Amino acid sequence: MPRPGDLVWIGRAANRRIVSGNHIAVRVVRIVPHSVISGVAWMHGYELGRGGYAVRKRTIPVRTTGLIFIWKGRND
């Protein structure tokens, strides 16, 4: 499960609305587990552009098993 500060790619495996072959890089701000569907969460974060800068704020439902971690923002 991602945590605030993590950087993840959201692709088709995580959200069916993503066009096949494309990914969205997102810096996680908050995760809210879905109360009805197991393995699904609402992710709040900032979509990052090519330079790594935030280009827009996003709230998107994701399958947590389909996320690709780019960077974990914590020391575990």
At residue 9's C-alpha, the angle toward residues 26 and 4, to 5°, is: 45
Check if the beta carbon of residue 17 is closer than 8 Å to that of residue 67.
Answer: no
Check if the beta carbon of residue 27 is closer than 8 Å to that of residue 46.
Answer: yes
pLDDT above 60 for 8: yes
pLDDT at 35: 72
Q: What percent of the chain has pLDDT over 90?
A: 63
Per-residue model confidence as pLDDT tens digits over 12-56: 999 998 886 788 999 999 999 877 788 899 999 999 998 989 999
Delimit the domains of the chain by residue range: 7-71
Q: How confident is the model at residue 75 (pLDDT cuts 50, 70, 90)?
A: low
* pTM (2 d.p.): 0.84
